Structure 1
Amino acid sequence: MTVVRAWVGGFGFAKVGANYGPSLLATNEARARGFHQILWLYGKAGECTEAGASNFFVIWKTREGKKQIVTAPLDDRLILAGVTRSSVLALARERLAGEVEVVERKYTIDEVIEASAEGRLIESFASGTAYFVCAISLIHHRGRDIEVPAGKSGEGAPITLRLKNWLVDIKYGREDHAWGIVIPEER
C-alpha cells in the first residue's frame, strides 16, 4: 500500500484536518504490525519528513565526528512548522551550542540506515503539541529494523531527555523563561 501524507505544493505545512485524516489508515496498519507510528518518507529518494503528525529528528555523528540534530527544512512547505519544533530548535541552538550542531536539511532514510550501520546514529525523537518530545527506539523500513538508542528507561537518550525536560520545566513554570508566563490561581 502506498499512502502519501503531503507533497510539495500541497498543504503539509498547515494544521488542517485533511493533513491528518488520510494518514489514519496507514497508522492503523502500522499499529496492527506492532508499531506506534509512521515515519513519512517523501519522493523517490525517501526523504524523512514527519513521524505521524509530528516533526521528526535524528541525532547522529557526521563521518568527521561532529554531533548534529537533523530535521527536515521548512523551505518547501512539506512539513508543519510546529511551535514545539521551533522551541526544540531554539533550545538546542541556545543550550547545546558547541556540543551539537542544529541542521535543517533534506535527508533520507538511506542516510539514517547508513548512520546506524556505521554506529553514528545516536538518538531520534519526534516533537509535537500533544507530548512535546517522544524518544524513538526503533525504525522499521522494508523488513529491516534500525535500533535507535533510547536511554535506559526508553524515555530518551541524553540529548532527547534534556530537550524534553527543558520544555516541560518551561511549560510547568519550574523554570523562569521568557516563553512561560505563570498566572497565579485566584483563591
Structure 2
Amino acid sequence: MVTMVCWPDFSTEVPPGVEPRSDLRLITSKNDTIRAWPGGFGYAKVGANYGPSFASHCDAQQAGYDQVLWLLGEEGQVTEAGASNFFAVVRDEKTSKPVLLTAPLTDRVILDGVTRRSVLDLVESRLSEELEVREAKFTIKDIEKAWRNGLLQEAFVSGTAFFIKNVSTIRVSDVNIDLPQKRDDGSAFGPRIKSWLKDIMFGAEDHEWGVFVE
C-alpha cells in the first residue's frame, strides 16, 4: 500500500509555472468575458469556477501580464484577480484617511478566501486606527479616478497561490495604472500584513490561529 500526500513547497512563494517576480501586473477582463455572476458559484472553490477563465489567463500572459482583473457588468465592478481576492488602498477624498477596499461577499461572486479573512481580521485588530476596511462594490472607474487624483496608494492580492502579493500595474483599455512600489519606510500596508501573517503561519509569533501538534 502506498500513501501519497500533496505538500506545498515552502521554499518558494511562487506557484508552479509562474515566472518569479516581486509584484503582479494585471489586465482587466474583456467586455465579452465573465468569470462569475450573481446567483452563480463564484464563491465556491470548484473546478468549474476556474476552468472557463484559463483562456483569458493565457491571453493576459501573452500580452505580458500575470493575471486578469475580473470585472462584472457594464459598470466594471471589480471582483477578483485571477483566482485571488483583490484589495486596493485608497485615501478618502474628504478625510484623506486610507481605506482598504475589497469586493463584498453579498453577491457571492468572489471566493470567501481564508487568506482574505485573515487579512481583514489583522487589519481590524492591528490597523484600525490607520486603515478603514470597506467591503463594498467599487468599479474600475473608481480605481482609475483615485489613481489620477493621487489617492490610490497601493493594491495587492491574497490567495493560496500567491499568498499576499503587491500589484504594480493594472492595464485598463489603453491606460497603465502604475502603483507605487518598494516603499522602505514601512508605510505600505500589504507588506506589513504579509509579514504578520507569515510570522503566525510559521510559528514565529504566538497567536491563537496557530496550533502546535506534538
Specify the TM-score bucket, using the shorter chain as the normaliser. over 0.9
Amino acid at match of 2:134: V
Could you tell me how far apart the structure 2 residues matched to 1:171 and 1:150 are?
Answer: 25
- 182 and 150 in structure 1: CA distance in 2 versus 1, 3 angstrom threshold: farther
- Aligned residue number for residue 47 of structure 2: 17
Single out whichever of 42-51 and 144-153 deviates more from structure 2. 144-153
CA distance in 1, matches of 2:81, 2:187: 18
Q: Would you say 1:175 and 2:205 are equivalent positions?
A: yes
**Count of aligned pairs:** 182
| Offset of residue 182 of structure 1 | 2.5
Q: Quote the Cα distance in structure 2 between the aligned partners of 1:183 and 1:138.
A: 41
Question: Where do 4+ consecutive residues of structure 1 move more than 3 Å?
Answer: none
**Superposition map of 1:115-154 within 5 A:** 115-152=146-183
Q: Distance in 1 between matches of 2:112 and 2:70?
A: 16
Name the counterpart of 2:60. 30
Q: 133, 140, 144: which is aligned to 1:102?
A: 133
Correspondence 1:166 to 2:196: yes
- Map 1:79-94 onto structure 2 (within 5 A): 79-94=110-125
Q: Which runs of 5+ in 2 are unaligned?
A: 1-29
Name 2:17's counterpart in structure 1.
none
d(CA) in 1 for partners of 2:153, 2:91 = 7
* Cα distance per residue 1:23-66 (max 9 Å; x no partner): 01000000000000000000111000000001000001011112
Contact preservation (8 Å) 1:149, 1:157 = no
Please, which runs of 5 or more residues in structure 1 have no aligned partner? Answer: none
Deviations 1:92-138 (A, max 9, x none): 11100110101100000000000000000000000002232110010
The corresponding residue for 1:54 is: 84
Counterparts of 1:107 and 1:145, CA distance in 2: 19
SS in 1 for 2:88: strand
Identical amino acids, percent of aligned pairs? 48
TM-score by length of 1: 0.94
Higher RCO structure, 1 or 2 (CA under 8 Å, sep 6+): 2
Corresponding residue SS for 1:98: coil
Deviation, 1:152, is: 4.9
Structure 1 residue 3, shift from structure 2 partner? 1.6
TM-score normalised by L of structure 2:
0.82
Distance 2:210 2:161 in 1: 17
Check if 1:4 corresponds to 2:34. Answer: yes
- Matched residue SS, 1:29: helix
* Change beyond 3 A, Cα 1:51–1:129: same
Which secondary structure does the structure 2 equivalent of 1:77 belong to? coil
The amino acid across from 1:179 in the alignment is W
1:39 correspondence with 2:30: no
Q: 1:3-38 CA distances to partner (integer Å, 9 max, x unpaired)?
A: 210000100000000100110100000000000000
CA apart distance, 1:150: 2.6
1:123–1:157: 8 Å Cα contact kept in structure 2? no
CA distance in 2, matches of 1:134, 1:125: 5
